[in-house]
Amino acid sequence: MKIAIAQLNPVLGDLAGNVERILQYAENAKTAGTTLMVAPELALCGYPPEDLLFRRDFRLACAAALIDLAARCEGISLIVGHPQVKAGKLYNAASLIEDGKVAGTYLKQRLPNYQVFDEKRYFDTGDQSFVFEHQGTKIGVLICEDVWFAEPVAAAKAAGAELIVVPNASPYDMDKLETRYDVVRARVRESGVPILYAHWTGGQDELLFDGASFGINADGAVGYQEREFEEVLGVVDFEDGAIRGLIHPLPTIEASAYRALVVALRDYVNKNGFPGVLLGLSGGVDSALTLAIAVDALGRERVHAVMMPSEFTAQISLDDSREMMQIQGIKYSEIAVTPMFEAFKASLAHEFEGRKPDTTEENIQARVRGTLLMALSNKFGAMVVTTGNKSEMAVGYSTLYGDMAGGYAILKDVSKTLVYRLCHYRNSVSRVIPERVITRPPSAELRPDQKDQDSLPPYDTLDQIVELFMEQDRSPSEIIAVGFLEADVTRVTRLLRINEYKRRQSPIGAKITRRGFGKDWRYPITSKYVAK
């Protein structure tokens, strides 16, 4: 038996478009000689539909789209994910379509409600297995989270399943695929039943789906491994109780993370209809990486970089920005901020009389730059991509309505140390970032001789503390016990706590780590609790 895996990148809410995409893949699957195709979780409507599911009109439109898909799907059996209303309750479902109609439906039994997931907000839980026979093989259907628990797999086996297929929508992080392998291998060991994953790919707001569909056989060996971040039709053979298909090599962590960021920006820009992007190019490493990602995502003709020098901008920053413009062949502008900065200072001179310059003046420069970028965005329609990274977001090393102004924060979940790793990776493919940009000490260039490390601990220290506190929920005392200086831990965790109000107002950005500052970080702004 040949089975097709439709590793799709649907557009949330584009029901008609998603039906057409699924039907086209079904035609391709028939051409490839398969008689059964598996599409991902909620492929019909997109994932996650969030509060659209509360709308009766949306639920009715999904039901109509399923009927349309079934009526037009000929000559192949299809498993597809969709919302399902039954007896007044809403379920996360996957249906088997055969001979122009829905032949059976499975209702998801385990609803994730942690990190980025809110499925219990919308769905009720199913309690029945669904096993059907296809070409002499009994196939069980589960959905995503079900496989993380032994009971749904055991129930499918008890119902006769010889193979379990899993429509899936599991958000990406850099360690997720290995975690999926561990979980699925555990279920296979317990049940002795091979499991075949059909996974989403592409970006949806801040979430990413890496594709990388796979199959694990009863002996725990990988029988099929699809490519990451590609919309593709995979074909596997299921013969003598084993899954056999192509096993594509997996990329390095850096290659995977970089590809994730490219796909995230491309899908956000294209799915929302922006003609292109704008970014502030400073000559620093963060904006250099952002520029590389933007060009790889959209092409040089859709990227406009703006250098906005001040009296504190080093000549090498200008030189490096111009070199990157020439390497990438992008549209490039230089707009000096000094005249506007001086006008602000003159207007505020009376109010500020008797007070020395401080971060106020630094922030004015950043806000002038943000205003210029947003003006260009308003005039020409391109979206501003911010260039701040996760380390800066954690400790508030950013300016509200300044460098935080924009539509998408592509490095929002990329620590400073990872920024450097990704720059080296991208240059290993082809040189797009001058080496001096990577090796010179980072600086905001908002005052004379400014360096980031004048205000912050070294980034390798800062990033480890942030990861332990923010991603792993370790207490300050536990972090100190690992070997970090108490002064550094106290300082970083305090900055992290008091800058929540900034993060709440920041643009969304791609999530690529276990925990990002977005859907899975929900801390109060007003709180007197101080972790010890």
Which residues belong to the active site?
41, 108, 144
Joined together, the tokens standing for residue 395 give 């400790």
Beta bridge partner(s), residue 138 = 133
Give pairs for 77-80: CB < 8 Å, separation 24+. Answer: 77/35, 77/36, 77/37, 77/134, 78/22, 78/26, 78/36, 78/37, 78/38, 78/39, 79/36, 79/37, 79/38, 79/39, 79/141, 79/165, 79/167, 79/198, 80/22, 80/39, 80/43, 80/44, 80/167
Residue 483, classified by CB atoms within 10 Å of its CB into exposed (0-12), middle (13-18) or buried (19+), is exposed
Element (H, E) at 216: strand 214-216
Give the 3-state secondary structure of residue 196. strand
- Cα–Cα distance for residue pair 179/157, rounded to 1 Å: 23
Please classify residue 371 by burial: count the beta carbons closer than 10 Å to its beta carbon, then call 0-12 exposed, 13-18 middle and 19+ buried: middle
Nearest-Å Rg of the Cα atoms of the chain is 25
Burial class for 115, CB neighbours closer than 10 Å (0-12, 13-18, 19+): middle
Nearest 5 degrees, angle CA 505-CA 209-CA 275? 60
- Say which residues have a Cβ less than 8 Å from residue 517's Cβ, sequence separation at least 6: 390, 393, 394, 412, 413, 503, 506, 509
Cα dihedral sign, 106-121-267-381:
positive
d(CA 396, CA 399): 8
Number of Cβ atoms within 10 Å of the Cβ of 102: 18
Helix runs in 51-93, H state only = 56-72
Contacts of 348 (CB under 8 A, 6+ apart): none
Peptide bond into 476 cis (omega under 30): no
